[in-house]
Amino acid sequence: MGRKGRTGTDQYSALLRQMLRIRRFEERCVELYSSEKIRGFMHLYIGEEAVAAGVCHALAPDDVVVSTYREHGHALARGVPATAIMAEMYGKAAGCSRGRGGSMHLFDAAHGFYGGNAIVGGGLPLAVGLALADKFHGRDRVTTCFFGDGAMAEGEFHECLNLAALWGLPVLFACENNLYAMGTALAKTHAQTDLALRAAGYGVVAWPVDGMDAPAVAEAAARAAESIRAGAGPHFLELCTYRFRAHSMYDPERYRDKAEVEEWKKRDPIEALIARMTAAQELTGDDLALLEKEVAEEIDQAVAFAEQAPVEPEEDLTKFVYSEIPPSSGTRRAEVAS
């Protein structure tokens, strides 16, 4: 089912599978959070799946990703195992961040995923640093940095775009414009709401994309990545999307009209792709049922893994907190946070 993508894979099917994995994973996380299996802050990506699926579909295996605190979808799409992510959500030592990061701080260098970041705009300097190192060492790699529209009001955004443009760095800036920075509407914080136009002001190639259309996102990201690899410098995609859930599990969501949310739900990226594939006779009801079954089994396995994974022993709680200085330095131990 599906049509062939630029890599020769079944692109539409791959995108649909990825979006379903993200959606069903997070829906299960809501259940687990409600039963207090998962604690702390949790920010859901439901509604925005086309962005993670589309952008990551266009990246090469050696490319790297820097993310935000709403990063479950990015991590899954980048290839971080669902088992490792779920264990991290549980705070277990088998998690991708050893159970010390939780929902907002997923990290897996082996899969090119250089972390979620709890600081708004905090991933931007990291992405520029990674890209600068790649250029210095002559590595053919693209660093993709996901961030929200709210990050464009932070100083880091302006500094990072300026430096990336000056130095011609291989960075793909992927702005997930979901119209709200926490509870504040875009128009209340940005005098210029055309975010692609603002980015272009730094000499960066930039354009807007329908972030509710997974194939359109994949095509735009592939075009940008190819241009970056050809030496055209940083690119910026304004991915116009919408989150269907509140900002976080603690958010009472009093800042937007329920009718607006329902209107956006009519553009659900998963349902839109299913409808497109069905109309083109590229997807049947049996195909979809099988796909849902496979996704459900993967998530069940992830939950079982997290449930059975051991909690970190108390004696290990100071590991990675203090740095040891060799005795030859004249100091036995320096209790300096690493």
Average pLDDT estimate for 3-18: 72
Give the residue, 98 or 335, on which the prediction is more confident. 98
pTM of the model: 0.91
On the question of pLDDT at 153 being above 60, the answer is: yes
* Number of domains the chain contains: 1
Tell which wins on pLDDT, 76 or 314: 76
Residue 194: inside a domain: yes
pLDDT at 252: 87
Least confident of 42-56, 141-155, 265-279, 316-330: 316-330
pLDDT score, position 337: 43
Instruction: Evaluate whether residue 6 is within a structural domain.
Output: no
**What confidence tens digit (pLDDT) does each residue in 85-119 have?**
999 999 999 999 999 999 999 999 999 999 999 99
Tell me what pLDDT residue 317 has.
82
Arithmetic mean of pLDDT, 53-80:
97
Between 10 and 215, where is the model more confident? 215
| Closest CA relative to residue 82, chosen from 302, 253, 293 | 302
Residue 5 lies in a domain: no
How many angstroms separate the CA atoms of 85 and 95, rounded? 6
pLDDT at 327: 65
* Residue 32 bridge partners (DSSP): none
Rounded to whole angstroms, the Cα distance separating 147 from 178 reads 10
What CATH number should be reported for the domain holding residue 243?
Answer: 3.40.50.970
Give the separation between CA 269 and CA 46, rounded to whole angstroms: 10
Which SS3 state, helix, strand or coil, does residue 172 take? strand
In a domain, 2, yes or no: no
Query: 3 in a domain, yes or no?
Result: no
Predicted confidence at residue 320, as pLDDT, reads: 81
* Average pLDDT for the chain: 92
Residue 321 has what pLDDT?
Answer: 80
* Domain limits for position 246: 11-337
pLDDT score, position 2: 37
pLDDT digits (tens, 9 = 90+) for 178-194: 999 998 999 998 999 99
Task: Tell whether 174 is covered by a domain.
Answer: yes
- The answer to whether residue 1 is domain-embedded is no
pLDDT at 328: 61
Tokens at residue 4, please?
């062939």
Does residue 298 lie within any of the structural domains? yes
Q: How far apart are CA 197 and CA 332, in angstroms?
A: 56
Structure confidence at residue 240 (pLDDT): 98
Residue 310 has pLDDT above 90, yes or no: yes
The answer to whether 229 and 139 have CB atoms below 8 angstroms apart is: no
* Rounded distance between C-alpha atoms, residue 304 and residue 83, angstroms: 9
| Of 186, 105, 197, nearest in space to 150 by CA | 186
